[in-house]
Structure formats: C-alpha cells, structure tokens
Amino acid sequence: MSGDGGPAPEARPQPASAVSPQQPQQPQKPPGDAKSGTGQATASASPSQEAAAPASPGSPQAAAPQGLLAGKVVVIDPGHNVGNFQHGAEIDKQVDIGTNRKECDTTGTTTNSGYKEADFTLDVSRRLRTALEARGVKVVLTHQADRPFGPCIDERARIGNEAKADAVVSVHADGTAAGNRGFHVILPAKVKGGAADTSAIVGPSRELGERIAGNFTRTTGSAPANYLGGGTGLVVRDDLGGLNLSTRPKVFIECGNMRDANDAALLMDPQWRQKAAQGIANGIIGFLGG
C-alpha cells in the first residue's frame, strides 16, 4: 500500500481515456490503511518465460527502440522493505514531506495467507528492471532489501531526484476490504510547501500514469479498481511524501488488493507478476517515446 505512513484520504477521481474500465462501483472512501501490517519477504520467484528478452543484435526492428531509449533513466521504488517490521521505532520516526510530517515508512500489508507486500513489490520491481534494461534504459532501484529498513519516504524521493530520472514508479499492492478489486495508479496533486513543489511534474506524471494504467489493464487483464477512482484507474493524492518531494515525473501503482482472495491469487502468481511488470514497463516505454 502507498499510505506513506498514514491512512488514505478519500480519492478524487480523475478521467482517463487510456483505460477501458469495467462498470465501476460507486467510489467510496477506502477503509483504514492496512500498511501498518507486518512485512518480511524474499523475492524467491524467478521470472517466467514471458520476461522481456534482450533484442537480437541482428534485428533492425529491435535496435531502433533501444537507440531511442539509450540514456533514459528510470527509478523503480519497491514499496516498503522486507525488514521494516523489525524496525518499528526507526520507521515510525517523522520526516518532513514539505506540506507536513509523516512516518519514515510503513511495513506494508499482506495477503490473508501471509504473502507480504514487500515480497511482491521487490519481485515485480526486479522483473520490471529486466524488461526496461532489455530496451536500453538505465534503471536504478531505491533498494533491494539490502538494508535493515527503509529507505524513508523522503530519501526515496531524493534518489529519483538525484538520478535526474526521466520517470519514477513506486510499486505497491493495496490492503483494503475483501470485495475491493483491481489496480489503481496514484498521481501527484499540485502541492507547494516547504521542500514540496509538484507544479512542474503534475502534467508529465499524469501522462506517465495514464500510459501505465492503459498498458497494465491490457497486459494483465485486470480492471481498474472498483472501490476508488471512479473506474478510471487513476487517483490523485496530496498526502504522499514520495510524490510531494519528487521533482521528476512520478507515480505509484497499487497492482491489486492483497486482502481480496481473487486479487491475492493473482498477486501470488509468478506468471501474473511477470505480466504486471511488463504492463508497467510498456507504459513507461511509451512515456519515454520508445
């Protein structure tokens, strides 16, 4: 979940032509943020055969997109960290997100059977990296569970800023009530306060989010969320430090609801996770002009 350390506010639905949604349920305020659950994980699943393969050197059709994307930088932010639940005092410390202060990080949610969001986000992020690198993109991960906890949300934003990323995507899964299904992409609201000023990234972040949403539903077959976003698959939020502090085009994607049995079955399936990674990659590639 992308609570950034707190419960999600009522989403403000935004229109998006990039998605062909299912008939949505009436939007509603999500229940409390389940990111306060525990989370420790290992990314043990290996990429499926659907993983994007590097282009053949002799293929002129594949060489052109690689050239177009050469020099492009994408930062991938696997939500939470497998060790966060062991470092409650550290991740509870407040950090400045410009408009207010929030927890350094949260632990993330789990499925009812115990599959951790931190497992999911790191696995999908690694698959996403492979797909993008196959197209010539330079990829930076904010972490690989190679640190005891975190990074804090302000550091996650700073990593993207300092990399001068052409796009930043934070990978998550939601933790709301059973029956709430589907994915949604979170876009930055226009905020200004302290170190936060999203005025320059609101437009390009929306384009990035629309492209990811459209490609995600086409590649995975998953519908936009039926519980927020008005069926568009897009939600604008002004309370996420990872978005507020970003100076680069950035979105969060909640790939499904870990607390719904049907969504959870998809999220735990390595083949579906490969499709999810490819859908996100396709959206990023389109945004980058590849």
| Cα torsion angle, 279, 280, 284, 285, sign | negative
Query: What residue type is 208 in one-letter code?
Result: L
In a domain, 274, yes or no: yes
pLDDT at 23 > cutoff 50:
no
Q: How far is CA 236 from CA 50, 96, 252, in A?
A: 32, 20, 10
* Structural contact between residues 93 and 104, judged by C-beta atoms closer than 8 angstroms: yes
In a domain, 35, yes or no: no
Q: Is 132 helix (H, G, I), strand (E, B) or coil?
A: helix
In a domain, 24, yes or no: no
Range of the structural domain that residue 69 is part of:
12-17+65-288
In a domain, 37, yes or no: no
CA angle 54, 60, 66 (to 5 degrees): 45
pLDDT, tens digit, 9 for 90 and up, residues 218-256: 999 999 999 999 999 999 999 999 999 999 999 999 999
In a domain, 233, yes or no: yes
Residue 254: active-site member: yes
- Which among 103, 117, 210, 254 is annotated as catalytic? 254
Say how many domains are in the chain: 1
As given in the structure block, the two tokens for residue 11 are: 């989403």
* pTM, full prediction: 0.81
Dihedral over alpha carbons 214, 218, 221, 226 (to 10 degrees): 20
What CATH number should be reported for the domain holding residue 234? 3.40.630.40
